[in-house]
Amino acid sequence: MKTIEAMNLIRGQWREASSGERFESLNPADNRQIVGTAPKSKAGDVDEAVAAARQAFEGWRSLSRVKRGEYIDQFAQLMKRDLNALSELVTHECGKPFNEGKADVVEALHMAQYVAGMARMPHGEIIDSEIADKDAYILRKPKGVVGCITPWNFPIAIPLWVALPSLLEGNTVILKPSEDTPICGHRLAELFVEAGFPAGVINVVHGFGEDAGDRLVRHEQTDVILFTGSYAVGHHIEQVCAQMHKFCAIEMGGKNAVIVMDDANLDIAVHAATLSAFKTSGQRCVTSNRIIIHEKLEPEFTKRFIAAAREVKIGNGMTPDTFMGPLINRQGVEKYLMHNQKAQEEGAEIFLPGGEVKEGDLAHGHFVAPFVYRLKHSSSSYVLREEAFSPHVAVIPVSSLEEAVHVYNDTKYGLSMAVITEDYRKWRYVRDHADFGVGYVNLPSIGAEVHLPFGGVKGSGNGHPSAMGVFDAVTHKVAFTVNHATEIVLAQGLSVKLRS
């Protein structure tokens, strides 16, 4: 693949950062390969993008919703055309196996199709007034300029989860892609241009969180911030937005779990746990770092789970049978090693020691092996309660359904949960008592679909899951009432006479 030079897209024009500085995006499977370079934007560049979005807002909101949907439909056609090339780019820039890169792009395509279809769906509501001669409506109006700040791990899907519903509703957008995957962000910008979106409606500004991202959040002319990423950054953005009286929808990390009950089908349990722990090398927000298991099944489950983890094929994502690609960067590896070290310090019984994998072709990438251990739950544990974002997995024994749910809930997060059981009373108890935004029975804790809400509770999110939640986040729901009579009648029987 040749090195790609990404540019900012501002007011329909390709622009360098005003400083002229650029940064590199490296292939995590082989750091000698530069996937591309991108402008290292600062506050002034963001200011220009916000001005462009503000200027484009009135024209864009004035189009019919159906017309805006047609632009998104055109964008979907282009994604379909470029499906394989985009999938390859995802693998190249963020290391996922090709089939996962493709799933990322397919999910993005599904979102484009879903949002384009929503253009022709009922949009507001008609509601009866207390007064017969009044018509009352609930309408949605765009909030204005939306700043989208996105992570690297779904570099095609997540930007579109947030940008497309915003655009359909008549908002204009500034996207700040992750500094780890700017080239994927740039390809999206090129497709937006090719799809014919009017200048300034969608702008893309590359750069680092503390410069470009921070300015987007603090700019007085961004009306909404849609953030997806880590708890530390998300929580910080929430605080900045609260001080500015700015609305933000925040989707953050998780400390998810597969809960295996005493009656579980072990084939399903082992398969679900393996997919939940090791898909995307444990770098999904819905990855399970915890397998909470009833002690009755623990010995047999553990034996089979370790055997499955040993089978996991680690390699370059473009090699056909690779199951786990590399971690995204050196910081990801350091975080994984730190969690492994802490597990040992907390007294874990280590089943698989993990560690960096440097053999042969993997020498120049960020490859690591599954780290699997057993540890009793404790409310003071670090490793059982903080996101590792890597193939770092605890098997946690419990003796009852109630204890399983208590252990599951005992973190600051509440994103994804899978329960493995044949007993409807057990999954029903878990459904009703566990804190999660995405729940599964006899499935892994991964597997989002775009037309279902996707987001978390507690420290995993502030309640605006994509995609449905994004429609709510980027619109004001307003009441609008029309009188058809020749006199004024007020609700609650209120007198309309000026004097009695």
Residues that bind ligand NAD (CB under 6 A): 149-154, 158, 176, 178-179, 208-210, 213-214, 217, 228-230, 233, 236-237, 251-254, 285, 387, 389, 415, 456, 460-461
| Active site (annotated) includes residue 285 | yes
| Contact criterion met (CB below 8 Å) for 181 and 159 | no
Nearer of residues 427 and 454 to ligand NAD, judged by Cβ = 454
Nearer of residues 69 and 414 to ligand NAD, judged by Cβ = 414
Nearer of residues 333 and 398 to ligand NAD, judged by Cβ = 333
In whole angstroms, the minimum distance from the beta carbon of 253 to ligand NAD comes to 3
In whole angstroms, the minimum distance from the beta carbon of 217 to ligand NAD comes to 5
d(CA 76, CA 290): 37
Nearer of residues 63 and 240 to ligand NAD, judged by Cβ = 240
d(CA 286, CA 417): 8
Nearer of residues 170 and 185 to ligand NAD, judged by Cβ = 185
In whole angstroms, the minimum distance from the beta carbon of 430 to ligand NAD comes to 20
Residue type, 342: K
In whole angstroms, the minimum distance from the beta carbon of 26 to ligand NAD comes to 15
Nearer of residues 9 and 270 to ligand NAD, judged by Cβ = 9
Angle at 342 between CA 337 and CA 344, to 5 degrees: 100
In whole angstroms, the minimum distance from the beta carbon of 66 to ligand NAD comes to 29
In whole angstroms, the minimum distance from the beta carbon of 410 to ligand NAD comes to 18
Q: Which candidate, 313, 393, 301, places its Cα nearest to that of 354?
A: 393
Q: Enter the tokens of residue 64.
A: 């019919």
| Active site (annotated) includes residue 184 | no
Catalytic choice (100, 184, 285, 298): 285
Q: Enter the tokens of residue 40.
A: 């290292």
In whole angstroms, the minimum distance from the beta carbon of 213 to ligand NAD comes to 2
Catalytic choice (88, 238, 251, 298): 251
Nearer of residues 261 and 324 to ligand NAD, judged by Cβ = 324
Nearer of residues 237 and 270 to ligand NAD, judged by Cβ = 237
In whole angstroms, the minimum distance from the beta carbon of 470 to ligand NAD comes to 11
Q: What residues are annotated to the active site?
A: 251, 285
